[in-house]
Amino acid sequence: MNGRVRMAVLPTVAAVLALLLAPAPAAAADPPAVKLSKSQAGTGGSITVTGSGWRSKALLMILICGQSVPSTGVSGGTNSCANADGRAVTTDAEGRFSRKLPVAEPPVPCPCVVHVATVTGAKAEADAIFQVAGHAVEPLPAEAAGGRLSVLTDTRLDGSGSLLTWFGAPPARRLVFTVGNVGTSPVKNPVFQVGTSHGVFAPQWEEQQWRGTIQPGKKARIELPVELTAGAHGDYTVSLKYGGKVMAEQPWGVGRPWGVTLFWVLVCLVVPAALFRAGMAVVDRVRPRQTSRRRGLRMPEVALRIPGLRPRQEARHASPAPSTLPWFTPDNDPGAAGRLSAPHDDSPTSPTTPLRKGPP
């Protein structure tokens, strides 16, 4: 009996020990949060903004925005924020930060918030209620009754670059997203605003109209063209706005147009080489005329100045010189005198002189 009781109690004790020794479930990751040192301050002052729960080593932008509350976010986008007085901050390894922010009036009335959002990477944002002392306060604009569009899926950019883009042509993509009509009336030919921003700068908005009608409870797939300026490169953000509210944002990394760099390198190498060859060609055309003229004028002069040296042409056409030596003349030639004094056989007037043989 005791053995059976022990066998029944042992599993129960083991289960209790397992529950006690089991690790506590991991707490869910805290969402990004923002805290302010002051809830109200006037223009010219400053507040300290601290945050936690952000991605480590993330670049954040801190702005004071009007016509916004934390529950609805920044309804007017960054155009309703004091962008010139914003501050950037980078979180530490634990996702925390602390930054002093000057107080400035936003371009629209309050209610105001301190808006913190990531600049690059995964999108994350958080708001904290703040009152700018002395700034006007107006109620938020009422939403128009009827049809209302909402983005149902994540946006994406379709398309790729080409060879012309590699040489500096404007990069172009298609912003693709799906919207649904969550209102009570159809939406016909909605007008969207597509903005592109580079780094921490505010986006440049452009209105684009989509042709079609979206019935209540229906959805539609929309594609809108997006194009940057020629030679653009770096990290860009494409934003979509409808009805004064930013609906989606999509990062876009644009590569550097290396073809332009290659072109200028070739220009710096080819143009000097072409100019050098052109200059050498001009020198080759001019130099032979000068050298031949100098040789034709100076070489004969040098030849005439050297005693006993005459040009070949003059020596070829000149008459042969007499065979007498230069230091003997016909008057003082001893051989000539002897021939004149002695008789010759070939002379008709010379007498015949007998030859003697031996001594007399």
Closest of 200, 50, 164 to residue 114, by C-alpha: 50
What is the per-residue pLDDT for 307? 57
pTM: 0.46
Q: What tens-digit pLDDT sequence spans the chain (360 residues)? A: 444 544 444 445 455 445 445 444 434 467 899 999 999 999 989 999 999 999 999 999 999 999 887 766 666 667 789 999 999 999 999 999 999 999 999 999 999 999 999 987 778 889 999 999 999 998 876 655 556 888 887 789 998 888 888 888 889 999 999 999 988 888 999 999 999 988 777 788 899 999 999 988 889 999 999 999 888 888 899 999 988 788 888 899 888 888 888 888 888 988 888 888 888 888 888 876 544 454 444 555 555 555 555 555 555 555 555 555 555 555 655 555 545 555 555 545 555 555 555 554
Closest of 28, 42, 37, 94 to residue 62, by C-alpha: 37
Q: What would the pLDDT profile of 244-296 be if each residue is shown by its tens digit?
A: 788 888 899 888 888 888 888 888 988 888 888 888 888 888 876 544 454 44
What is the per-residue pLDDT for 67? 84
What is the per-residue pLDDT for 264? 85
Q: What would the pLDDT profile of 112-127 be if each residue is shown by its tens digit?
A: 999 999 987 778 889 9
Taking a C-beta distance cutoff of 8 angstroms, is the pair 46, 101 a contact?
Answer: yes
